[in-house]
Amino acid sequence: MTAIPEANGRHEGRFADPAEVLRRLAEVGYLADEQISTAVYLADHLAKPVLVEGPAGTGKTELAKSLAVALGARLIRLQCYEGLDEAKALYEWDYRKQLLRIQVGRSDAARGEAGPAWSEIEEDIFSEAFLLERPLLEAIRAIDPVVLLVDEVDRIEVETEALLLEVLSDYQVSIPELGTVHATQVPLVLLTSNDTRELSEALKRRCLYLHLGYPSVERERAIVVARVPGIDVRLADEVVRVVRLLRDMDLEKLPSVSETLDWARTLVLLGVEHADARTTVSTLNLLLKHKDDIDAASRALSGMST
């Protein structure tokens, strides 16, 4: 059985139980469900990252942000992209500062002054003063409470996932010039994925798994009411039911929760009282982002209104 990684020999949970996760997230405006609260609670107490998969716009990134606010913690975000390497994810050396240090040593020698030997300069330029922390190392070394968000991890190459494994396994980073840096505390770690490619089994083994799909009508209605100031409950209900209708259609890109909120805010701003077919067709560009989808939805909605 693998031991739970501990910072300085101890790891204390941030939440007493899943119900506290629900309550504290609700207090900052994130309406979670039992599946989410249980995954977060277990990740907290088992000191394991959570891999959060699901369609874009279903609240994966917002979950990490809301947890940071709920915990009064600092959010450290590693935005993943194709070509992300160790220098941008873990650390790199401040080469310009190192070069200046070398030039100072050479200038001393040129003036005939007794300066440090090259071995001393080399040891100096690979010291803490010349180290540039990137998100993973920053999270490991933080002394204040931290939520680490590794966002859209499915965008990086399979080979680059290896950069994450040491951090996620043992909460440590190996720096050849300085040695192994161990975590001063175990951060709460969330990795998000839009499921654009299959992640490696090695990465998945180190994580708890949470899938965030589209919410039920009831939960999405509650989200709209909570996140859209001034919206009438009846209008919120009409909004989420129209969105559910669109999600049942064969569209290239289904509307996300974030797009539901954008549309609801737009209707409130326009003073709309009912999300009827005419209003929906005229504002479909808030929900759908492909012309063929808008055309297909417009035909379907217009046919239903006649």
- Whether residue 305 is predicted with pLDDT greater than 90 in this model: the reply is no
Q: Where are the alpha helices (DSSP H) in 142-216?
A: 162-170, 201-205
- The pLDDT of residue 76 is 96
How many CB atoms are closer than 10 A to CB 162? 13
- In a 13 Å sphere around the CA of 109, the CA atoms on its Cβ side amount to 10
- Whether residue 6 is predicted with pLDDT greater than 70 in this model: the reply is no
Question: Given pLDDT bands bounded at 50, 70 and 90, which one contains residue 197?
Answer: confident
pLDDT in tens, 177-196: 888 888 888 999 999 998 88
Pairing status of strand 146-151 against strand 172-175: unpaired
Q: Where are the alpha helices (DSSP H) in the chain?
A: 18-27, 34-46, 60-71, 86-89, 95-110, 118-125, 135-141, 162-170, 201-205, 217-227, 233-247, 257-269, 277-282, 291-305
- The pLDDT of residue 36 is 96
CB 257 within 8 A of CB 220: yes
User: Domain segments of the chain: what residues?
Assistant: 18-90+134-211, 94-128, 217-305
- Whether residue 10 is predicted with pLDDT greater than 60 in this model: the reply is no
Q: What does pLDDT average to over the chain?
A: 87
Q: How far is C-alpha 119 from the chain's CA centre?
A: 42
CATH superfamily of 18-90+134-211: P-loop containing nucleotide triphosphate hydrolases (3.40.50.300)
Provide the percentage of residues in the chain whose pLDDT is more than 70.
88
CB 200 within 8 A of CB 158: yes
59 to each of 28, 169, 256, how far by Cα in Å?
A: 14, 26, 9
Q: Is 68 exposed, middle or buried (0-12, 13-18, 19+ CB in 10 A)?
A: buried
Give the integer Cα–Cα distance in Å for 67 and 70: 5
Helix, strand or coil, per DSSP, at residue 198 = coil
Which residue do the tokens 């064969």 mark?
250
pLDDT in tens, 152-173: 999 988 878 877 887 888 888 8
Give the largest Cα separation in the chain, rounded: 94
| Residue count of the chain | 306
Provide the percentage of residues in the chain whose pLDDT is more than 90.
59
**pLDDT (average), residues 35-48:** 95
pLDDT in tens, 81-118: 998 888 888 888 877 887 877 776 666 555 555 555 55
Please, what's the b/e burial string for 19-45 (b: 16 or more CB within 10 A of its CB; e: otherwise)? ebbbebbbeeebbbeeebbbbbbbbbb
Q: How far is C-alpha 139 from the chain's CA centre?
A: 14
Give the integer Cα–Cα distance in Å for 216 and 259: 15
Backbone angles phi, psi at 165, to 5 degrees: -65, -45
Q: Is 224 exposed, middle or buried (0-12, 13-18, 19+ CB in 10 A)?
A: buried
